[in-house]
Structure 1
């Protein structure tokens, strides 16, 4: 990894941490999982860094949180998060960033807004939510149906985050977003 890549990975990890400073919104029917802005940072990392570096940025953030840094919304951090109802969503963050970057790198021919929106909806909503539902079932003992219903609370906000991320990507020069892979 080049120095430029390390700096970009670190900056996006810091951005996700900064988005944790916004207050979290706790909803009792969501099994104790809060609504936060940090998913927006995950989406931005995937869109702007691509699959490999987006994953690295979110994994770095997650690793620092596991070490005990209170960077999650509400000042949470440490190994205890692995035993919370949020664990599926949190483990889904790096996977979601990878999928977002992968979709960005594999799509071509459409505008940056549509590419980014599609990538964020697939990786940032579908992948993260699927892992989040699995975590809810595992940690709370909810049925799959109850976990899916509880998860629906997060979908409108994450669709808005996907739209915001796509809009921000459309404002940037095309070389700053994850470029489509060229055939060698």
Structure 2
């Protein structure tokens, strides 16, 4: 186990902050609503965290983000924080960011091509959707008040609205992370990032 340096901790903290901003970007910029659905950038930043920081540091950043919100800091969507978030149907998406960052990090640590980064980003998005949507379904079935006539199909239909946005952002995140890998991350102090993963 290699120790984290100040740079590693700073970058992880930066992604915690970016996740908080991404969760509330539609609140900060009200016009970022499509059909009443707010456009968030959480998945985008979770993908970048794994692709840029690597599997270990990226997933740790997502764990810290989750814990910061659970202890009460309003970093989740709609500036919500506190332990009650655990019982919300959407909490599964917050957990999924940990797995998203870890899996993407593992993929790009092995292959550094543009295609690998984009594929990793799309796989991470799929993990986010699979884990988050299934958690939401079971939450509504077992402990949350489900809408009338709620079904598994309905849970997935709700995800259709943000899907095109998340596909586009996942591809952009893959391209951005690859370019950073080829330029900034492969030089100087940043070369250490993938080694601690």
TM-score normalized by the length of structure 1: 0.82
**By how many angstroms is 1:26 displaced?**
8.8
- Out of 79, 82, 96, the position equivalent to 1:75 is 79
Any conservation in 1 of the 2:24–2:78 contact (CA below 8 Å)?
A: yes
Q: Number of paired residues?
A: 173
Paired residues for 1:135-154 under 5 Å: 135-141=135-141, 142-154=150-162
Any conservation in 2 of the 1:133–1:144 contact (CA below 8 Å)?
A: no
Where in structure 1 are there 5+ consecutive unaligned residues? none
1:47 aligns with 2:51: yes
**By how many angstroms is 1:165 displaced?**
0.7
What's 2:122 paired with? Answer: 121
Structure with the greater alpha carbon radius of gyration:
2
Greater shift, 163-172 or 88-97, is seen at 163-172
Paired residues for 1:88-127 under 5 Å: 88-108=92-112, 111-112=113-114, 114-123=115-124, 125-127=125-127
What's 1:22 paired with? Answer: 25
Extract structure 1 runs of 4+ deviating beyond 4 A. Answer: 24-28
**By how many angstroms is 1:66 displaced?**
0.6
Any conservation in 2 of the 1:16–1:38 contact (CA below 8 Å)?
A: yes
Any conservation in 2 of the 1:23–1:73 contact (CA below 8 Å)?
A: no
- Out of 160, 171, 175, the position equivalent to 2:168 is 160
Q: Deviations over 1:23-66 (max 9, x none)?
A: 255978x9xxx641111110110110110010001111111011
What's 1:11 paired with? Answer: 14
Query: What is the distance in 2 between the residues matched to 1:26 and 1:82?
Result: 27
TM-score normalized by the length of structure 2: 0.77
